[in-house]
Amino acid sequence: MNYIREHASKQKPILVVLLDPEKPIDLSLMCEQIKQSEVDLVFVGGSTGQKIEDFVLYLKKHVPQKIVLFPGNIHQFCAHADALLFLSVLNATDWQMFIGQQIRAARAIQQSQIETIAMGYILIDGGKKSAVEQATHCVPYSQQDVDLIVDTAIAGELLGMQLIYLEAGSGAAIPVSTEIIRQVKAHLHIPLIVGGGIKTEQTMQEAFNAGADIVVIGNHFEHYPQQIPSFAKNKPKG
- Is 103 exposed, middle or buried, given 0-12, 13-18 or 19+ CB atoms closer than 10 A? exposed
Strand partners, 216: 16, 195
Find, among 123, 120, 121, the residue nearest to 140 by Cα: 123
CATH class of 2-233: alpha beta
Where is average pLDDT lowest: 5-9, 45-49, 108-112, 204-208?
45-49
Q: Structural domain boundaries of the chain?
A: 2-233
Question: Residues 169-209: pLDDT tens digits?
Answer: 877 889 999 999 999 999 999 999 999 999 999 999 999 99
Q: Which residues contact 135 (CB under 8 A, 6 or more apart)?
A: 47, 48, 49, 72, 73
pLDDT of residue 48: 59
What is the rounded CA–CA span in Å between residue 141 and residue 125?
A: 6
